[in-house]
Amino acid sequence: MSRNETPRSAGGTAPDVYISADVEADGPIPGPYSMISFGLTVAGTYDGRTFERRDPEATTFYAELRPISDEYDAAALAVSGLDRERLLREGRDPAEAMSAAARWVQAAGHAEGGKPVFAAYPLGFDWMFLYWYFVRFAETGSPFGHSRFLDLKTLYAARSGETVTRSVKGRMPRHLLSRRRHTHHALDDAVEQAELLQNLMAWDGAPAR
């Protein structure tokens, strides 16, 4: 029986609650540049022995934010397809949005009886923006603390025996990848990434037959 099919193991261990996260931004770093949208979804729980999938479309959070500076990189902005002028008029206030997101993350963890863990592929960019924004704007700071995160690129490298440099989606076995398109809409991509996480957690590292 695979890990995703096995009932949660006994013993009262509070599980990690994996929150798949994706960010769209108008530049390479937060502060000088802005996070313009982000998506979050519950991917599953893991108690150290058993992983349980969750429907990644069932529990989600999405926000489009008002930019925090006048600086932006046109190429970075074009990736998301979002209209920066519209976001300046209609985007959510960062303090309001990040406080709401922090409450959502904490509620998602509480609903699963565990602690939320940030998950992304690759981790660095998305964690950098969301952690900075949570610390800077959310009333309660980061709901992930400063270190509760999982890098799916590293997870794949460890399970496959591959180098981190070569642990890219184009080299992964097809059965690990989501069948969803990567749209650069933050919630779409968080859901797609949640399915990659689920498949990696159920994978023993052996090649597909």
Of 153, 95, 96, give the one whose Cα is nearest residue 124.
Answer: 153
Is 34 a residue whose pLDDT tops 70? Answer: yes
Q: Give the sign of the dihedral formed by CA 125, CA 130, CA 131, CA 135.
A: positive
* Burial bucket for residue 115 (CB in 10 Å: 0-12, 13-18, 19+): middle
How, if at all, do strands 115-120 and 149-151 pair? parallel
pLDDT of amino acid 61: 98
Q: Could you tell me the domains of the chain?
A: 3-202 (3.30.420.10)
Please state the rounded mean pLDDT for residues 151-175.
94
Residue 209: per-residue pLDDT? 41
Looking at residue 3, what is its pLDDT? 41
**Least confident segment among 35-49, 103-117, 136-150, 195-209:** 195-209
Flag whether pLDDT at 83 surpasses 70: yes
Q: Flag whether pLDDT at 7 surpasses 50.
A: no
Whether the pLDDT of residue 35 is over 80: the answer is yes
Query: Is a pLDDT exceeding 50 seen at residue 96?
Result: yes
Q: Does residue 108 carry a pLDDT above 70?
A: yes
Buried b (16+ CB within 10 A) or exposed e, 12-50: eeebbbbbbbbbbbbbeebeebbbbbbbbbbbbbbbeeb
Mean pLDDT over residues 179-192, rounded?
Answer: 92
Q: What is the mean pLDDT of the chain?
A: 92
